[in-house]
């Protein structure tokens, strides 16, 4: 029989402290930004801080991935090479990479993962990346379960999919709207989030169809109900988006997905196994509705139908949970129809008559009556949302989880020493001893000795069983305590030493052949001489330059976004339906000084957002 497949829950980490919290709450791996060239420029970290996260993660056989996933300019290649060597030196398990130049750098054999920025939509592209030496592949977020399964079947390396968090409206790696409009490139970790702006949609005659709506702003991904299908499709790594999110967000979301995955793994232990060690214990119940979200969508997990709910037209903000409606406003108070407990310090919100989301802080709550921190007058019937639950925040801001490794101990003695043998849940064993003058005990010692050995507070270990063969001897408490402390410190070192790394694999001979069957487009974002050399050596005849490297003004008609999301379908005006004729194209989007033309590729069910000066 095949062995159970290791399953990874992969969490984001803005910094080392959040990385450690993610692992405490059950993450099997975390991804974190290094000092430079991460796709979230605002989430870079010093090597010393990443090393601290690595030290903690490896105690649990958990892994740390560094996001070196921007395109790299020629003048940065040497510094990136040096940084990668340092990341390898401190024990980082893998790099998440977009730029093929990394394959040509003089770097150690650190494992490489193909970022979603590589824009992998097909089994052919996945096979190409595997043949190039990538040991984990992150396909496009837009894929259905069936399309994901096809990629999983095409490769022998683990496939990693996003399951939760913010969505890019464009295929990742194929969005140039931020660069074209602001000079800040998404492929350089500097996205200006043009997609979150309000737009007015116009038909071919210049008539407004929708005014000031966030037409490109997607809801957040939530696939917690689809984990079993994704596992059956062959997915091995489940990734939570959010390297700019705070600790409370990461703790809550990781816990929710950890518990959901564990339930499936337990029910199918012949098929799946956790990819890291230890057990997490929680002091709270996770609730995905309590953490930042723009409303949820499963996106393209299953084939959508016209008139879907992928976007959040009303607001790109977190509106929160609907908790009730306004009954009346009087004497500086707002009385609500609600069955929720309200708290001093809650953050509530509503949509005003212009459709703008507005918020206010609760100064004092008395049952269903709240006193806002500032004067406010709301109409009866106004729907009220809560996006800041003070009671919940007080819980989640405290320590909310511990993670421990189970160990078994044996206490024994020789004529001149006492000895502790330890075996942990992963089969690591060690023996420590200390010289001691031992004498027979006047009274039973087992309970006292076992109590001392069981005191593992301040460590990651929980004692499962103790086999005591020295209970007939008197051992001073200080001696036994010191020996136990020494044993657990050595076990820490042993677990880190025995941490299993995967290493970069060599490119396969069929790589050139796979390139010839793969259409090379500017989506490969070739921005330096080494990336160009990589493709040239494989026989590529045309290697367009990354848009970020072009000189001068961007030409009218340049495609800035390629999306599977479709405004027509979202609004029930798909061109494949009779309702599509109600909107006469071509359609344009305008927001301030920005104007984009929409091109609908119905044969491939794609939407292109094109630049108009």
- Inform me whether the pLDDT recorded for 601 exceeds 90: yes
- Condensed to tens digits (0 to 9), the pLDDT of residues 212-267 reads 999 999 999 999 999 999 999 999 999 999 999 999 999 999 999 999 999 999 99
Q: Are 128 and 521 in contact (CB under 8 A)?
A: no
Distance CA 10, CA 161 (A): 10
DSSP string covering 323-367: EEEEEEEETTEEEEE--SPP-TT-EEEEE-TTS-EEEEEEEEEET
Of 45, 31, 39, 36, nearest in space to 81 by CA: 36
Whether 411 and 467 have beta carbons less than 8 Å apart is answered as: yes
| 434 pLDDT higher than 80 | yes
Query: Where is pLDDT greater, at 345 or 309?
Result: 345
> Looking at residues 587-611, what average pLDDT do you find?
96
Tell me the angle at which helices 16-24 and 247-267 cross, rounded to the nearest 10 degrees. 30
Q: Which pair of tokens denotes residue 291?
A: 């953490």
CA–CA separation, 78 and 173 (whole Å) = 23
CA distance 200 to 210: 6
Q: Report pLDDT digits (tens) over 481-511.
A: 999 999 999 999 999 999 999 999 889 888 8
pLDDT at 522: 47
Q: Spell out the residues 6+ positions from residue 102 whose beta carbon is closer than 8 angstroms to its own.
A: 68, 72, 80, 84, 95, 112
Pair type for strands 439-440 and 160-165: unpaired
**Phi, psi (degrees; rounded to nearest 5) at 58:** -70, -20
Q: CA 294, CA 168: separation in Å to the nearest integer?
A: 13
In sequence order, the 6+-apart residues with CB closer than 8 A to the CB of 447 are none
Indicate whether 597 pLDDT > 70: yes
Pairing of strands 401-413, 279-282: antiparallel
Contact 424, 410 (CB under 8 A): no
Tokens linked to 116? 């979603």
Question: Could you tell me what percent of the chain has a pLDDT over 90?
Answer: 89
Of 78-87, 378-387, 419-428, 546-555, least confident by mean pLDDT is 546-555
91 three-class SS:
coil
Q: Could you give the CA distance from residue 349 to residue 333 in angstroms, rounded to a whole number?
A: 15
Partners of 503 in beta bridges? 110
Q: What's residue 518's pLDDT? A: 60
The tens digit of pLDDT for each residue in 194-222 reads 999 999 999 999 999 999 999 999 999 99
Nearest-angstrom CA–CA distance, 99 and 187: 10
Among the listed residues 129, 128, 134, 114, the one whose alpha carbon sits nearest the alpha carbon of residue 514: 128
Q: Is the peptide bond before 18 cis (omega within 30 degrees of 0)?
A: no
What percent of the chain shows pLDDT beyond 70? 98
Note the pLDDT of residue 237: 98
Give pLDDT tens digits for 556-578. Answer: 999 999 999 999 999 999 999 99
**DSSP state letter for 74:** G
Q: In whole angstroms, give the CA distance from residue 285 to residue 280.
A: 13
Distances (CA, A) of 226 to 223, 306, 373: 5, 21, 41
Question: Which two tokens mark 36?
Answer: 């430079």
Structure tokens at 87: 């990341």
Task: Enumerate the β-bridge partners of residue 202.
Answer: 208, 588
Average pLDDT over the chain, rounded to an integer = 94
496: tokens are 């880190």
Give the 3-state secondary structure of residue 479.
Answer: helix
CA neighbours within 13 Å on the CB side: how many for 260?
A: 23
Helix or strand holding residue 165 (H, E) = strand 160-165
Q: What angle do CA 561, 566, 567 make, to 5 degrees?
A: 105
pLDDT at 393: 96
- Give the integer Cα–Cα distance in Å for 255 and 292: 15
Could you tell me the domains of the chain? 171-215+551-613 (no CATH), 296-396 (2.40.10.170), 404-497 (no CATH)
User: Residue 516: pLDDT band by 50, 70, 90 thresholds?
Assistant: confident
pLDDT beyond 60 at 425: yes
What is the Cα–Cα distance from 126 to 231, expressed in whole angstroms?
18
Q: Tell me the Ramachandran region of residue 332: left when phi exceeds 0, alpha when psi lies from -120 to 50, beta otherwise.
A: left
The set of residues, in sequence order, having a beta carbon less than 8 Å from that of 382 and lying 6+ positions away, is: 325, 326, 350
């Amino acid at each position: 029989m095949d062995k159970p497949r290791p399953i990874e829950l992969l969490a984001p980490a803005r910094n080392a402290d959040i990385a450690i919290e993610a692992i405490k709450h059950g993450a099997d791996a975390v991804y974190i930004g290094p000092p430079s060239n991460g796709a979230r420029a605002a989430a870079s970290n010093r090597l010393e801080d990443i090393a601290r996260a690595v030290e903690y993660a490896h105690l649990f056989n958990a892994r740390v991935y560094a996001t070196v996933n921007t395109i790299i300019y020629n003048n940065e290649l040497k510094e990136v090479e040096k940084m990668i060597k340092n990341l390898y030196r401190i024990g980082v398990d893998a790099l998440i990479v977009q730029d093929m130049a990394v394959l040509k750098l003089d770097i150690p054999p650190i494992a490489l993962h193909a970022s979603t920025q590589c824009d992998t939509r097909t089994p052919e592209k996945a096979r190409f990346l595997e043949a190039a030496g990538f040991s984990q592949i992150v396909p496009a977020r837009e894929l259905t379960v069936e399309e994901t399964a096809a990629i999983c079947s095409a490769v022998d390396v683990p496939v990693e999919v996003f399951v939760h968090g913010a969505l890019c409206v464009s295929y990742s790696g194929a969005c140039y709207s931020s660069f074209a409009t602001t000079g800040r490139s998404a492929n350089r970790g500097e996205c200006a989030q043009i997609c979150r702006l309000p737009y007015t949609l116009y038909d071919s005659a210049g008539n407004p169809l929708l005014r000031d709506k966030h037409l490109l702003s997607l809801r957040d991904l939530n696939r917690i109900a689809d984990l079993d299908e994704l596992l059956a499709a062959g997915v091995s790594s489940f990734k939570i988006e959010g390297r700019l999110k705070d600790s409370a967000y990461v703790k809550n979301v990781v816990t929710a997905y950890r518990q959901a995955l564990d339930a499936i793994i337990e029910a199918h232990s012949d098929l799946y196994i956790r990819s890291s060690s230890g057990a997490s214990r929680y002091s709270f119940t996770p609730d995905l509705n309590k953490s930042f979200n723009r409303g949820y969508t499963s996106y393209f997990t299953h084939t959508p139908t016209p008139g879907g709910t992928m976007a959040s037209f009303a607001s790109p903000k977190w509106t929160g949970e609907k908790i009730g409606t306004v009954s009346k406003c009087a004497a500086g108070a707002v009385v609500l129809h609600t069955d929720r407990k309200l708290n001093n310090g809650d953050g509530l919100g509503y949509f005003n008559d212009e459709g703008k989301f507005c918020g206010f802080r609760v100064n004092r709550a008395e049952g269903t009556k709240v006193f806002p921190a500032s004067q406010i007058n709301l109409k009866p019937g106004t729907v009220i949302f809560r996006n800041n639950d003070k009671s919940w925040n007080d819980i989640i801001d405290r320590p909310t989880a511990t993670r421990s490794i189970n160990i078994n101990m044996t206490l024994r003695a020789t004529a001149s020493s006492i000895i502790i043998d330890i075996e942990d849940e992963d089969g690591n064993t060690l023996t420590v001893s200390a010289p001691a003058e031992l004498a027979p005990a006047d009274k039973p010692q087992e309970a006292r000795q076992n109590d001392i050995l069981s005191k593992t507070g301040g460590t990651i270990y929980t004692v499962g069983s103790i086999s005591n063969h020295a209970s007939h001897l008197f051992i001073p408490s200080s001696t036994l305590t010191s020996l136990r402390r020494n044993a657990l410190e050595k076990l820490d070192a042993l677990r880190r030493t025995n941490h299993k790394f995967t290493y970069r694999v060599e490119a396969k001979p069929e790589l050139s052949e796979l390139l010839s069957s793969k259409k090379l487009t500017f989506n490969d974002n070739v921005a330096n001489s080494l990336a160009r050399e990589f493709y040239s050596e494989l026989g590529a005849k045309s290697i367009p330059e990354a848009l970020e490297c072009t000189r001068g003004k961007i030409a009218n008609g340049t495609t800035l976004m390629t999306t599977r999301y479709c405004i027509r379908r979202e609004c029930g005006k798909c061109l494949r339906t009779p309702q599509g004729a109600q909107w006469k194209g071509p359609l344009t989007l305008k927001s301030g000084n920005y104007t984009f033309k929409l091109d609908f590729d119905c044969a491939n069910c794609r939407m292109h957002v094109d630049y108009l000066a």
